[in-house]
Chain A
Amino acid sequence: DAKTTQPNSMESNEEEPVHLPCNHSTISGTDYIHWYRQLPSQGPEYVIHGLTSNVNNRMASLAIAEDRKSSTLILHRATLRDAAVYYCILRLSDNNDMRFGAGTRLTVKP
Chain B
Amino acid sequence: DTAVSQTPKYLVTQMGNDKSIKCEQNLGHDTMYWYKQDSKKFLKIMFSYNNKELIINETVPNRFSPKSPDKAHLNLHINSLELGDSAVYFCASNGGGETQYFGPGTRLLVL
Contact = CB atoms under 8 A, between A and B. Distances in A.
Interface residues of B, number: 20
Interface string A93-105: 0011111101100
A41 B10 CA distance: 12
A99 B42 CA distance: 10
Interface stretch (B68-76, B79-87, B102-110): B102-110
B90 A32 contact: no
Contacts of A102: 40-42
B41 A43 contact: no
Interface in A24-54: 32, 34, 36, 41-46, 49
Q: How big is chain A's contact interface, by range?
A: 20 to 34
B98 A32 contact: yes
Contacts of B90: 43-44
Given A43-B104, A43-B105, A95 B43 contact: no
A38 to B, nearest CB: 8
B43 A100 contact: yes
A91 interface: yes
Contacts of B41: 85, 102-103
Would you list the 6 A-B pairs with minimal beta carbon distance, nearest first?
A43-B102, A100-B43, A46-B99, A44-B102, A49-B98, A43-B90
13 contacts: A34-B98, A36-B100, A43-B4, A43-B103, A43-B105, A46-B100, A91-B98, A97-B45, A97-B48, A98-B45, A98-B100, A100-B43, A100-B44
Interface of B: 4, 35, 40-45, 48, 55, 90, 92, 98-105
